[in-house]
Amino acid sequence: MLIIGVAALLQTLRMVNFNSGFWPVFMAALFVLAGLAFLVALFQTRANWWAAIPGVTLVSIGALIGLNELAPGFAPYGGSLVLGGIGLSFWLVYLVAPQNWWAIIPGGMMVSLAVVAGVDAVHVHSIDSGGYLFLGLAVTFALLGILPTGGRRMTWPWIPAAVLLALGVLVSFSAAGFANFVWPVVLILLGVFFLTRNMIRKSQ
């Protein structure tokens, strides 16, 4: 980290140009090696679960630098790579130590943002990218309600999951030109739900 900081400072002061020659590959290798050092600390003991975050993030940044140099056409997808790497780091925190259930939330959020960045990069406009974000967050909270958390299974995540799912569907359908069908369907489903619940209560 010290070496990377010094290199960044030299680049800022324009004393060294790391954007040409072998320097990009060198910097990519430096980031990857720094990330691997953290990951080694992680796999030595689960008590070092925190090392997953800088470890995977640094490896992702190194991969981005290397791919930008070796495959310039990959540049538009760089945001997805780094955001996905950060999201993966939080999921690794959870997998190593399930009691850190909170890591599911930033993990799902960053992966959702990675998907949005990828959709924007390939210019897919059939569905608004905000719809993907809301749907990804809905899945995140649903997983929080399903996956083990090192203790009692939580039920509260289903509330934000349902709200985010509804927002995701509304935004997606609105972008696709089907907004006029959404509210009638929602009202019909709610009506069926309340009627069914009322009939069940009377039968009991």
Say whether both 129 and 45 belong to one domain: no
Say whether both 100 and 131 belong to one domain: no
Distances (CA, A) of 30 to 2, 66, 93, 151, 174: 11, 10, 23, 39, 46
What is the per-residue pLDDT for 118? 83
Say whether both 85 and 163 belong to one domain: no
- Amino acid letter, 176: A
Q: How far apart are CA 11 and CA 26, in angstroms?
A: 14
Q: What is the percent of the chain with per-residue pLDDT over 90, rounded to a whole number?
A: 25
Confidence of residue 6 (pLDDT cuts 50, 70, 90): confident
Of the two residues 3 and 127, the one the predictor is more confident about is: 3
Radius of gyration of the chain (CA): 22
Say whether both 99 and 48 belong to one domain: yes
Contacts with 181 (C-beta within 8 Å, 6 or more apart), sequence order: 173
Residue 120 maps to a domain: no
pLDDT, mean of residues 107-113 = 92
Best CA proximity match to 7, nearest among 34, 21, 32, 27: 27
Say whether both 21 and 91 belong to one domain: yes
Residue 83 maps to a domain: yes
pLDDT at 124 over 60: no
Q: How far apart are CA 135 and CA 172, in angstroms?
A: 9
Say whether both 203 and 135 belong to one domain: yes
Q: How many domains does the chain have?
A: 2
pLDDT, mean of residues 96-115 = 91
pLDDT, mean of residues 121-128 = 60
Confidence of residue 204 (pLDDT cuts 50, 70, 90): low
Say whether both 132 and 54 belong to one domain: no
Say whether both 97 and 131 belong to one domain: no
What is the per-residue pLDDT for 181? 53
What is the per-residue pLDDT for 14? 72
| Least confident residue range of 9-13, 46-50, 181-185, 194-198 | 181-185
User: Scanning the structure block, which residue is given the tokens 């210019």?
Assistant: 123
Range of the domain at 199: 125-204
pLDDT single digits (tens) 151-186: 777 888 898 899 888 888 777 766 555 545 555 655
Say whether both 58 and 145 belong to one domain: no
pLDDT, mean of residues 124-133 = 66
pLDDT single digits (tens) 15-71: 766 666 667 788 888 889 999 999 999 988 888 999 999 999 999 998 988 888 777
Say whether both 21 and 95 belong to one domain: yes
User: Scanning the structure block, which residue is given the tokens 């930033």?
Assistant: 106
**Distance in Å from the first CA to the final CA of the chain:** 67
Say whether both 1 and 100 belong to one domain: yes
Mean pLDDT of the chain: 80
Residue 112 maps to a domain: no
Say whether both 19 and 57 belong to one domain: yes
pTM to 2 decimals? Answer: 0.73
Confidence of residue 79 (pLDDT cuts 50, 70, 90): confident
22: tokens are: 């072998």
Residue 59 maps to a domain: yes
